[in-house]
Structure formats: structure tokens, C-alpha cells
Structure 1
Amino acid sequence: MYKGKRKEFFMPNSKAKTKAAVYFKSIRKKEGAKDIAGVNLDLIMKLDAFSAIKEKDFVAIKMHFGDKDNIGHIKPETVKALADAIKARKARPFLVETSTLYVGERSNAYDHLKIAYEHGFTFEKTGVPIIMADGLLGHSQTAVKINARHNKEIFVAGDVSHYDSIICLSHVTGHIITGIGAAIKNIGMGLASRGGKLSQHSGVLPSINAKKCTKCGRCRAFCPAGAISPGDAAFSIDHAKCIGCGECLAVCKFEAVKYSWKQSSKIVQEKMAEHALGVIFGKKDRIMLTNHIIHVTKECDCMAKGEACVMEDIGILASGDPVALDKATIDMVKKMNGYAFDYESENPLNPLHQLEHGEKIGLGTMDYELIELN
């Protein structure tokens, strides 16, 4: 629950005017986890933001640990190599993630960390701790004012404002809603609070399913707006008071809180870009991102299954600009395969919506220079 005085930031809407540098190095199919870790580190060290890391800086490494049984996620060896390089600068690296909005294996910090450890992201293997940026249930958040098309204010995970630098490692995949899962999704959705995720996915306010409600009162106790009250058969939500924070969804143990997830792909993508803008506020020169076009799957790493890849491995791209990085990723995949992602023909989503909107609000530029490393 959001308690105390709201912390707010005001952000300028400025467009990038110069080409963004995007570095690339190819990956051969038989290269192992340590080889990939080395390539990832080489690329990140090319970015100016890496040289800006100072002694005692808190350096957040954002990535997806993969859901249960997922095999395509970035591996612990990549984190270990990166963390060692950051420690060599006498800074303090750590892994960060947030809880999912939907009910599942990663909807709270306890269960999420269990999966991360099962996938090898232990201190022994990575050399860094995992710190959930949004607390136990995803309700720790900070308000950021952005004055954008869909949001005048967005909610990011509570710890984000305290990071000195953010390094975002993204496993590139297809996505059933956004067309592509890459850098913008990893920071915009991945570092939003539960309320921020809800805002991106939902166009309406919550309601309570009377058949599932046990009238335990937990939702009412945690509601920061005082919008929930008891009724004859179940608790109910006053939409005039509801602020859409998602707290009730987080704390209900009986899946009685329901939302409508009907939202167009274009709107979700634009909201996602707006949240990414809030995440990087005050850190535009301290952001490092890599997109791994390796074991690309039809669906994202949120799928609790091992998916087969849908194209040959291509390599890793790196930039300090999330818009340029994702544009270069889409361009490279299309150039190598003739189409953006495997299911594009049957479900024609346009992943450029998030890039075009991101450019308009000052998240980055789609104009980039590709620099290939030997």
C-alpha cells in the first residue's frame, strides 16, 4: 500500500535530435553461456554510461528470470560477468525484478524468488543479491508526473528512484499483446509497480466477484483510497473513490477481485512507453541496455513452459537508448528472416507503436547508427 507523502517528479517532453549509437556483435549457435556472457559485457563496456559508474553506486541489473520451466531466459553466467566488472569499479550491483500483475508463480516476492533461485540466480552463481523493487506484494511504488497522452502520472516500483544506474538485459521474444518483448517492455512493464502494470493493461476499474468473496475484509484494510465497503453478499468497490492502484488485486487470497483486460495493442504499447519514460527519469545518461536475439520464442518468458526457438540466433545489441535499441532489433530480425516475428502473419501486431510514441514523448529516437564489433 502506498503510504505517506507522494513523491513526484516533473519531466520534460523533449525529442532526441541525434542518431543513437547501437552496438552489435553476432553470436554463433554453438556458443555457450560463458561466451555469451563475454559478448554481453564487451558491448556494455562500449557504452558511455558504464564509465560513469562510480564507487559505492547502486547499480540495478534488470532482467527476467523466466517463469517456471522456461528455458529461453538470459543465464546467470551473464549476470556474474557483468557483476564482477561493476564490482571492479567498487560499485554495488544487484539484480532487480518486480511481481507480476496476474496470479501465478511470480505474483509475489516470495514465490518469485524461489523460481529465480531454481533457475540458478543464487548469490553463489551470480555474486549479487536479488532485491525486489516493488516489495513483497508489488505495492511499493513512487509517483512520477510525465504529462503524456494516456498518463499525467504513472507509478513505478518504489526503489527505482534510488538506483544510480540501471542495466537492462532483455531476452528478445514475440509477445501476444505488444508484438515484441524487448527493452521498452522490460523497463516499462518490468519496473512498473502493480498499479503501473494495471494501468497499462486495463481500461476499467476493478470489481469484486461475489461468488468468490469471503468477506474477510483484507481488501478493505489495504485499500489506500477507502473505496471498498462491505455489502450483503460481498464487499464492493466505489468507482468514484477508486484510484486503480491494484492493491485489492494484490492482497486478495481468493481471486475475488476482477478486471477487464480488454485493451488494444496500440494503447498498451503507448502506455508501456510512458512508463518506461518514468523509470528512466533522471537517469538518461546512466542507462545501459542489451537485447539478446538468442533463442527467440513466439511468446515471452512469462510462459511457464519451455518453448522452441522460431529463428536462428543472431546476436546481441546494446545501446543507451531503448527506442533505438528496439528499432535496431526489429530491423535486424526482419532483415535476417523477412518478417519481424513468427506469428506476425496470423496476428498482425505492430510493435512500432511503442517506438513511435516513445520518440514523441522523449524516451529516445528511432534514428540510430549500427556499429558492429568484430
Structure 2
Amino acid sequence: MKTPSLSTIILALALAGCVSKNSAAPTQASATPALPSSVSAGSAVTHGHLLLSTSKSTLATEGRDPAEFPAYVAQLKDKARQQGIDDATLNTAFNGVHFVDRAISADRNQPENKVTLSEYLGRVLTTAKIQQARDSLQQYRAQLAPVSQRSGVQPEYIVALWAMESHFGNIQGREEVISAISTLAFEGRREAFFTRELIAALHIIQQQHIAPGDLQGSWAGAMGQNQFMPSSFLRYGADGDGDGRIDIWHNTADVFASTANYLTKEGWKAGGSWGREAILPVDFVPEMAGLKANQAKTVGEWQKLGVRLTREANLPDTQQKAWIIIPEDSPVRAFMVYDNFRTLLRWNRSWYFAISIGMMADAMSQ
């Protein structure tokens, strides 16, 4: 999954931010995007960073002593050499590497406040953001059209992810990725994961997609306008303008192509919808809701069980496979979702996030 988003950190004081686009399985319990992926906008929060007060205690009282960090970096370099990273890359990438205490603080102190789906959507799907998304869809239509034709991913979904992950490229995070990821690997709770991400980041530098000094992102290493983790960059990054480089920091052609490539490789059904809000019958059995394979039914079967959609336009084929989800474990709001919703969850495992992307895409189409 694409690990560590804009909605993630913009709402960090109310929602739990974590790395989206990773390998964790989607869960209903996650009300917010999983580790920072693709978010600021205030003195308390900046995209990809949780600006929380730093505890007076150090890692020496909780785990590894920060004084051991330089020796640990030397070990990371040895591991990187074994993975094909040359010394020239190591020397430039680790020049000025430092312990990032705020990365540890942010990772350990992610807010756990819960909000309802309606509260979440009210914050991330503002009238102003939807209008900016519509304007961007028109502004970049010439770039988006060929990407959509090749991938089958509708332009509205590409723009919606761009909007949520980095507020249309404006909030990408300013942390030095090599230092941040090295620090999180050193901290040890997810050492193997962050070590893999570090080596992936070094491959990005070695392949000359970006200069080491420009490799910036969130405190957890999510990078660029679509907030890819380094491993996702290597797996899904695409050269949208044919210049031989993949620049998701500055080049919207590459951003759009990479976003579409991610969704396509993760199973996007060309031209398909994500889902629709639904009305459940009073006798609906809650255990029927969920995204497991054995909980899928055709749209026609759901309709026979009394499930109705709140909007009657553009109904899917009655033979289309669908699931019913109830994000808040109560019949307050329910949705009938399709395969593309499950693909959005591979980008970010939060049900709230995936619903917001679908709704923003729908709003742009209206």
C-alpha cells in the first residue's frame, strides 16, 4: 500500500494521522487515514508533521539512547551497500543526517480523538476545496486526459487524491526524508519497515530522480504531491512527460501519472464508480455489512434485501458485485461500495478517507 495524507495532518488534532499506502489491511476501526500519507494549515499542524510538544524524556528512558544514533547510521549504510547503494550516493544522502526528535514525538503521540463521518467530511470536503478541485480539473484537463485514457482512472479521482494528499501540491512536508526515516528505524518499533523505506529512498537518489538536499516530505517519510512512501515511489512512480525522471514534488504530469499508475496496478476498474450512500431496511442484519469476500452480493441481491440508494442516477448494473459498509458501527450512515472503493483502501486504509475521495470525485462530476 502507499504508506503515509492532506486530510491526515490537516485534521491531526482531531484525527489520528498515520503512514497510508502501506501493507496493513484495511480496517473499519480506522476513522482517519492511516501514518501520515497524502496534509496544514495552521500553526499547530503542518503537512506531514504533527507539531506536538516534545517530551522532556528522551529515548534513553524509553529505548535506544539518541547518542547511539551515529553508530546506527553506520549500520544502515552497511545494509544499504548490501542492497546495491554505492558510496557516492551514501556520502551525499547522509551528508548532514541528524536525529529528528520530533519524528519520534509525532509517531508516539498521534491524537486518538474520534470524530463521526459527518464531522470528518465537513472538514475535508469544504465548499472552497470542492470548488478548487473543479477549477483544477479544468485547468489540468489537457494533462489529465491522456493519463486517464491510458489508465482507465477517471480524472476526478486523480484530482481528488491530489487535493486530499497535499492540498493540490501546496503542502508536502519539509522534513529531510533520510534523517526522518533513519530516526524512525533507529527508534525500533517498526525498524524493518523504516529500514526498507530508507533503502528505497536511497535508490531514488541513486537513480537521480531528485537531489539529496531536495528529498523532503512528512515526518514519516511520505513524499511529494501524492505523498508516496519511498517504496511506493519505486513501485508506482511514473514518468508522465517522458523526460526520463519521476518528479512527484514539482511536476504535475508525473504526479498525475503516478497516482493513476498506483490505482491501476492495485486493481482499479476502468471507468467504474466507488459506491453510493445507501438506505438500509429496518431489519438489516449488521453482520451482513463489511468488506470480506463472503459479504459481497450483487447490487440486485442487495436491492431484493431492501437496500436502497439515496441517489437514483447512474445506478450500476444489478449484477455488479457490491458490499455494504457502516463506517460508524451504527445505521446512521451506510454505503453500497464497489471494487474501486477497495482499491482506494489500498491507497489509504481509512474508510473515511476512501469515502471522502469518492464524494469529492462525485462533486467534481456534478
Which TM bucket (shorter chain)?
Answer: under 0.3
Higher strand share: 1
TM-score, with length taken from structure 1:
0.24
TM-score, with length taken from structure 2:
0.24
| Larger RCO: 1 or 2 (CA < 8 Å, sep 6+) | 1
